[in-house]
Structures are given as C-alpha cells and as structure tokens.
Amino acid sequence: MDADTLSRRTLRFVNVAHALDHFVLLIYPTAVLAIAAQTGLSYGELITLATGAFVAFGLCALPMGWLADRFGRRTMLAIFFFGYGLSCLGVASAGSRTAFMVWLCVLGLASAIYHPVGSTMLVTHARRLGRDLGVNGVWGNVGAATASGVTALLASGFGWQAAFVVPGLFCLACGTAFLALVPGDGDGSQAKAGTKPVLSVARPIPLLIVFVCAIMAGGMTFNITTIALPKVVDERVGDGLPLMLIGSVATLVFAFGALTQLLMGRLIDRYSLPVLFLGLSLLQPLGLGLAAVSTGLPLLIGLVLTMAALYGQVVINDAMVARYVPPVYRARAYSVRYFLGFTVSGFVVPLIALLHDRGGFGFVLGVAAGFGAVIVAAALGFFLLTRREAARSLAAAE
C-alpha cells in the first residue's frame, strides 16, 4: 500500500476513533438521569461512580505513548476500539453500584489510549497540520455533541442499557474494519506535504510551565462543563424538561464547539499560535461567568461561548505539541499532555457533586470560571515569552 493511501485510511479511522472516544465517555452523564429514575438513587451518588473512569482516562494516558512506541500505534488503536466495545457491553450488564464502578473504570482505561496514540498518528499522516487537526477536532466534537441526544433517544425508547449496547457493537465493528484496512503504522505522506518545521526554543522551561498550567486548568473547565452540561440544562434552562429535549439542547451547545475547531484549524495554518491562544482563552471565563449568573437563553449563550473556547483550545494545544516537539518525542509528549489534563480533571466528578450540593450549578460554573481565568493568565504568559524568544532570535541574526 502506498503512503498516500495509508495516510488517508489512517486519518479516517483516527477521526472516527476521536468521535467514539468523546461519545462513549459522555454516555453515562446523560444515561445517569434514566438510571436514577429507575433505581431511585440520587444524581450525586450515581455520578460519583464515574470517578474511576475519568481518573483512568487521564492517569493511564501517561504510559500509552511508551506502549505505542513499543508495540506500534496500529496495535494500540485496535485495542482502543475493542476495549471500548467490550467495556460498553459490560456497563450495560451492570446490576450493582460495584459493577457500574468496575466497568466504568475499564471504559476509562480504554478511553485513555486514543489521545496520545491518535494525536501522534494524526500529526504523522497529516498533509496540512492545522486543517487536519481542525477536522479531527470536529469529529471529536460531533461525538461529544451527539452523545447526549443519542443516549437520550436510546434510553427513552429502549432503556438505558441500549445506550451502551449499540455504541459498544459499533466500536467492535470499527475495530474489525481497522485491522482489515490499515495494515501497519507507516511513516505517512507528511514529508511530501511541505509541513512547517519544528520551532526551536532557546529557553523551553518557562514556556513549558505556562503550557502545563493551561493544560491543567483547561482540563478542569473542559470536564466540569461537558460532564455537568445535561444536568445544567435540566435545572437552569427549564424545570421538568423531558430527557429527549435535554439531550437535544445539550447537543446543540456542543455543536458550536465543532464550528470553532474547524475555524481554528484553518487559522493555525495562517497565524501565530500564541496570538490565537490568547484571543481564544478570553472566551472561557466570559462564557462561564455568564452561565454562572443566568438562566434560560443567557445561560445557553454563555455555554455556547464556553464550548467554542474549550474545543478551540484543544486544537491549539495539539498544534503546539506538533510545532514545538521533535517527532521522536511526540507520542510521549502527547501522553504527558493528556495525562496532566485528564488526570487532574478526573477528580472533577466528585467536585461537581460536592459543589452542586452546596451551591447548585451557579457555584459549579463560577468555580469553572476561576479556572478559565488561570487559562487566560497562562495564554498571556505564553504570548509574552514567545515574543521575547522572537526578539532574541532577531537580535542574534542581526
């Protein structure tokens, strides 16, 4: 198989995997509303059972880059598809709180594979980095956007178990097709595409520090918003909304994030990453602050701004790793990037339950706005540091 064909097929499966990664991980936050109605358990008690899944999602991302270097990226992505499929069927079969917790942990372990491995495969096979990152981001956002709506549809029509069984079977089918159509990792066609070279940095430590702060704070805002969104809509848009309508409104909010990712992907190929990062970061505290103090339509506007910023930042962060980290270290760099973001944010689930019990979702969103302010500070620091690097390089050249 020639490099171009391999790259096209690989990118298609990487995109599908990104959609599934976000879709499957967000089934439970919506299905929990139906599970609570059936079992009589409280929302706070049930949502806490997912803590292990979100902790594993981040914690287990750390070794995935090393495992991909050792056993191959194709092998690891195949394990992702099959692991996700089997864990979905396991959650559907759960009949106790312990079983829910165990199978959700397995699901989180499988979900940890995608971002370090898939991001490396994407950068390796991309022909235009910004465009392909943006398209891949849209696929992930479509997965997140449709999770609430599809889960609500399946749970309302066929029971909450169907919300896990149907995606589980689809994941198994994708894994089978992936192994049949993608014969190996390959080097991709990136070298022929005229991609931009890795940027050299004289003092990488300060840049690394502000980038790590942005990743960790971004992980908090991302998970607080995406996990809590169905319940926020349920409580603050209108009491007594049917599950189908809650899922549809949540899906609409997520859809705006997809548009932002596509836009950011195009802009990355044309403009400076630090400038884009700084401009986009301002939307997070603005949107979260508006959502925290409002209900109804103003709340939805705040959530739309937040989603745009959250998903746009994902594309920018991945582009930063691709532009500043040499290819030989990229898989491990993505592992560390997602380990930091997702491990810290994995503790968001009990945090949401605690804050919600004490002050409702106004308090939850207000705390998220505080993390958004940290991202703005980090983006400003990154911008100033890169300007200093550019000035130093220009002075040295003269």
Q: Number of C-alpha atoms within 13 angstroms, CB side, residue 125?
A: 27
Integer CA distances (angstroms), 3 to 14, 192, 198, in order: 16, 10, 22
Q: Residue 167 burial by CB count (10 A; 0-12/13-18/19+): exposed, middle or buried?
A: buried
User: What's phi and psi for 295, nearest 5 deg?
Assistant: -135, 175
What DSSP element (H or E) covers 308? Answer: helix 296-324
| 239 backbone φψ class: left, alpha, beta (φ>0; ψ -120 to 50) | beta
Least confident piece of the model among 56-70, 234-248, 319-333: 234-248
At position 122, the amino acid (one-letter code) is: L
Indicate the range of 41-50, 129-138, 216-225, 371-380 predicted with least confidence: 41-50
Q: Note the pLDDT tens digit of each residue in 105-137.
A: 999 899 989 988 998 899 888 888 788 888 888
Number of domains, the chain: 1
Which structural domain, as residue segments, surrounds residue 350? 3-397
Residue 154 has pLDDT above 80, yes or no: yes
Q: Is the model more confident about 329 or about 193?
A: 329
CATH number at 73 reads 1.20.1250.20
Lowest mean per-residue pLDDT among 7-21, 282-296, 332-346, 350-364:
332-346
Distance CA 11, CA 139 (A): 11
Q: Give the range with max mean pLDDT: 44-58, 110-124, 378-392.
A: 110-124
Short-list 64, 52, 65, 1, CA closest to 25: 52
Higher pLDDT, 65 or 27: 27
pLDDT in tens, 330-375: 778 888 888 887 777 667 778 888 888 888 888 888 999 999 999 9
pLDDT at residue 194, as a whole number = 41
What is the 3-state composition of the chain as percent helix, strand, coil, each rounded to the nearest 5? 85, 0, 15
Q: Of 28, 11, 22, which is closest to residue 119 (Cα–Cα)?
A: 11
- 26 pLDDT more than 80: yes
How confident is the model over 158-208, as pLDDT tens digits? Answer: 888 999 999 999 999 999 999 999 888 766 554 444 455 566 666 678 888
pLDDT-based confidence at residue 313 (cuts at 50, 70, 90) = confident
- Higher confidence at residue 297 or residue 87? 87
What percentage of the chain reaches a pLDDT higher than 90? 22
